[in-house]
Structure 1
Amino acid sequence: MNSISTQITPGLQARKGFTGIYVHYPFCYQKCDYCDFFSEGIGEGKSNVEDLLFESYKKEFSLKKANSPELKTTKIDTVFMGGGTPSKALPENWFRLLKFFREELDFSSDPEISIEANPEDLSLDFIQSLKEAGFNRLNIGVQTRSKEGLKFLGRHYDAEKYENLKYLLQNSNIERTGIDLMYGLPHSRKEDFLDDLNYFLDLQLSHVSLYSLTLEKGTSYSRNVKDKKASPPNEEMQREILELLPSLMQNRGYTWYEVSNYCKDRSFSRHNLRYWTYESYLGLGPGAHGFLDQARYGNPRNTAAYLKHPGKPATEETSSPREELALSLFRLFLPIHIPSFLEAHIPEEIAKKMIFSLDGFAAKGYCDWDGSRFQWKESALLVLDDLITELAIST
């Protein structure tokens, strides 16, 4: 099948023959305190190594292609520019890179081409430039409309840009547009988050990602909480909102398809779906990860090191499908055609153990499961991590 959306009725099915591309752009206006992705704050303006970085993407690509049998035979159906803040880069650099990819690889007829952006970079002209560069999906990291909340998160705040965001979203030439919002900030109220959420839902966006603030090891926020310089996330509020969201979003016309992700009209993030369904992807750039030819790799979390040796990974490991599939596939709240994934990735004896676990979950009322089509019930939400861990251990 060529499209994720055609697979939903019988259940999401395993696919072969398709690959995605992820490109990591490491630069931001400033490094957010809570963020554990590799990124570097460089202030306003363009990085002085931007052109070199884009040439390094091409060099790494050529090395990966030369050594990957999969890339020689696959079809590309998603490209995702993440970071960092990819909207800090010039659209013409993205245009040239996308043109290069299309010349080097076989693309599907309807690829999803996504880019992440922050409000401070956006204008109607800039969005038009992104569309002309080839992007058909835009995701904006809003997090919160509260000045105090953004200051707490260590994010850059441009009041004029945040106030203008509604106008930009209403008039964007890129139809598939989504936002990220965050909840559970200490000293914030549930009502503040819901006000932000309803503000954006009124715009009928195609995609909404709703994340709880978490303590990620190695971040400034995590260290500050440990040193009692900052308050921890409001876990009680997070639990209340997490329980509230599925019905609230459904009432507003959104499909709940992953723990933190909702969309209208089956406008799933097709690229992110491939992470959860154990599909391959080429990762390029400092701090990027990739999954090709049944092996995973991670690039150095250092821009200078990457520019010196693009294509030289910092980590490499053989993939473990039985554990990874349990940890990723079962984050989805879509109906899933389990036999297709078991047949594609899991040995028969292990598959029997997984089916036994699913039988147990169904008996406890956590899912709908008929031996073929599986789907979590909302009752599984608050114990989902425990259930997924149990499933991973049992297999």
Structure 2
Amino acid sequence: MHEVIASPQEDRFVVVRPGARGGMQIPSAMHRELADAADARLPVPSWLADAANTAWGINLAGHRCDRAVLVRPITRVRYSRATWEINQGCNYNCEMCYLAQRQFEGLPLGQKFRLLALLRDAGVLRLQITGGEPLIDPHFRATYQHAYSMGMLIDILTNGSRLHQHLDLLSTMPPNRVTVSLYGATAPVFDSLTRTKGSHRNTMRGLAAAKEAGVPVEITIIITRHNAFELDAMRATAEQYAVAYNEFSNISPTYQGTSDPLASQAAGFLNKSAIFKGCPAGHTFFHVDPHGNATMCKIGRENPISLMTEGLDGLLRLPAIADAQMLRTGGCSGCALSATCRVCRPLAKAYQAAEAPLESYCQHGDKEITV
């Protein structure tokens, strides 16, 4: 199995290592040199052996290039990232979920493999596998192994409940990142928020097993009105089990604009500091649902493109679809505060469809601002 990956990434060329942070940018001539060395079964060039030893402490000197380096070719379509809902089904039932329905359905295994090949041929180097809960998908292991073998850096977004069942896989084929959502510090709070008995026990078992196995995990602390009083304790849990953590409190409607998740927002915890400064969704990355439909992102799902029927040619239409969804329409047209808006247009449309209070997403709801 490969030690490093040499790949185009949009208009650059990079060398990266699965499971390791950081990488190196190389000129196109060095990428061609690696491709030629792999084709001819020559040793790893000395410049890469030296760089890999410095960056990651691995010894590639004398190794055959075709065995140590997976060289990905230049592709006609040049996306760098994608997110993939392998399945929207979930074993938790969180009230703040952005998915209105969590149905267990999706592509059969053979079609999942075909979809992954399309993503590879679209240039995708970094693939985020999400759900629903991805680790309960019956094809997770097979699809993870397939994506890894094709030279993708894999991120996993999970509730951690089945993490202990896959640590052998993640130890031998290390992911780029595993992010576990934390919904509380104690079982009563955690289980109440997920509306699933035993969810706290299962997530904590996964975190403990990952730490013991040496698989690094990051944690996202989900803050709602039900668990905000446990925030300090949740931070302590994250510090114990994770290599890093962040906090998420801006609960959104479902992507269809259903307002139900908004009831879980914690007053006083909405983050209003970040200004939306544009997004390359649909241009450098995209989202894929369980049926192989590509959209600009998980929120902006208008005019989906069926990759399974249109193939890579369909992705050529995605930038224009994304640009159209970013246009300000309705009440946002001509807004005097648009330069300091905090949300993108697709998310604002979801809030508007949900008839959400302006203070939850729009500056016109801020008492200190008058226009």
Under a length normalisation based on structure 2, what TM-score does the superposition of the two structures give? 0.52
Residue 179 of structure 1 pairs with residue 185 of structure 2: no
Residue 116 of structure 1 pairs with residue 116 of structure 2: no
Q: Deviations over 1:139-161 (max 9, x none)?
A: 11222234234324434533432
Q: Which amino acid aligns with 2:163?
A: L
Tell me if the contact between 2:135 and 2:162 (Cα under 8 Å) persists in the aligned partners.
yes
Tell me if the contact between 1:29 and 1:156 (Cα under 8 Å) persists in the aligned partners.
no
Q: Which structure is higher in strand share?
A: 1
Q: Deviations over 1:201-223 (max 9, x none)?
A: 34452343423444447699819
Summarize the Cα distance change of 1:284–1:54 in structure 2 as closer, same or farther, 3 Å threshold.
farther
Tell me if the contact between 1:19 and 1:282 (Cα under 8 Å) persists in the aligned partners.
no
Summarize the Cα distance change of 1:206–1:128 in structure 2 as closer, same or farther, 3 Å threshold.
farther
Structure 1 residue corresponding to 2:291, chosen from 286, 289, 294: 286
Summarize the Cα distance change of 1:207–1:234 in structure 2 as closer, same or farther, 3 Å threshold.
closer
Tell me if the contact between 1:24 and 1:287 (Cα under 8 Å) persists in the aligned partners.
no
Q: Deviations over 1:137-195 (max 9, x none)?
A: 211122223423432443453343244345234324333x212222132xx46431222
Q: Deviations over 1:31-83 (max 9, x none)?
A: 433323365366xxxxxx78x62222234456x67xxxxx75x6432011111
Residue 83 of structure 1 pairs with residue 88 of structure 2: no
Identity of aligned residues (%): 7
Distance between the aligned counterparts of 2:236 and 2:141, measured in 1?
A: 35
Q: Give the length in aligned residue pairs.
A: 262
Residue 29 of structure 1 pairs with residue 29 of structure 2: no
Q: Deviations over 1:104-150 (max 9, x none)?
A: xxx5xxx5311222232121x52222343452321112222342343
Distance between the aligned counterparts of 2:255 and 2:124, measured in 1?
A: 34
Deviation at residue 20 of structure 1 after TM alignment: 2.1
Unmatched 5+ stretches in structure 2: 1-11, 25-76, 312-316, 329-333, 343-358, 365-371
Distance between the aligned counterparts of 1:84 and 1:41, measured in 2?
A: 8
Q: Deviations over 1:213-265 (max 9, x none)?
A: 44447699819x8xxxxxx33543324xx48xx9xxxxxxxxxxx78xxxxxx
Distance between the aligned counterparts of 2:337 and 2:194, measured in 1?
A: 40
Q: Which amino acid aligns with 2:124?
A: I
Deviation at residue 291 of structure 1 after TM alignment: 4.4
Other structure's SS at 2:154 match: strand
Residue 237 of structure 1 pairs with residue 277 of structure 2: no
- Name the residue aligned to 1:378: none
Deviation at residue 287 of structure 1 after TM alignment: 7.6
- Name the residue aligned to 2:147: 98
Q: Deviations over 1:291-325 (max 9, x none)?
A: 49xx975379xxxxxxxx95479xx8733549749
Distance between the aligned counterparts of 1:21 and 1:156, measured in 2?
A: 33
Deviation at residue 197 of structure 1 after TM alignment: 1.8
Other structure's SS at 2:205 match: helix
Distance between the aligned counterparts of 2:245 and 2:203, measured in 1?
A: 19
Summarize the Cα distance change of 1:55–1:323 in structure 2 as closer, same or farther, 3 Å threshold.
closer
Tell me if the contact between 1:180 and 1:210 (Cα under 8 Å) persists in the aligned partners.
yes
Q: Which amino acid aligns with 1:154?
A: R
Q: Which amino acid aligns with 2:178?
A: L
Unmatched 5+ stretches in structure 1: 8-15, 43-48, 66-70, 226-231, 247-257, 260-272, 301-308, 327-352, 367-381, 388-395
Cα RMSD (Å): 5.1
Under a length normalisation based on structure 1, what TM-score does the superposition of the two structures give? 0.49
- Name the residue aligned to 1:342: none
**Pairing 1:239-318 to 2, within 5 Å after superposition:** 239=270, 242=271, 278-281=283-286, 283=288, 285-286=290-291, 289-291=294-296, 297-298=303-304, 310-311=308-309, 318=320
**Pairing 1:135-174 to 2, within 5 Å after superposition:** 135-146=175-186, 147-155=188-196, 157-174=198-215
Q: Which amino acid aligns with 1:148?
A: V
Other structure's SS at 1:145 match: coil
Tell me if the contact between 1:24 and 1:84 (Cα under 8 Å) persists in the aligned partners.
yes
Other structure's SS at 2:108 match: helix
Distance between the aligned counterparts of 2:363 and 2:144, measured in 1?
A: 44
Other structure's SS at 2:284 match: coil
- Name the residue aligned to 1:56: 111
Tell me if the contact between 1:31 and 1:41 (Cα under 8 Å) persists in the aligned partners.
no
Distance between the aligned counterparts of 2:23 and 2:145, measured in 1?
A: 31
Structure 1 residue corresponding to 2:233, chosen from 186, 195, 219: 195
- Name the residue aligned to 1:393: none
- Name the residue aligned to 1:19: 80
Distance between the aligned counterparts of 1:217 and 1:321, measured in 2?
A: 18
Structure 2 residue corresponding to 1:211, chosen from 242, 249, 265: 249
Structure having greater relative contact order (Cα 8 Å, sep ≥ 6): 1
Q: Which amino acid aligns with 2:134?
A: P
Deviation at residue 94 of structure 1 after TM alignment: 2.2
- Name the residue aligned to 2:62: none
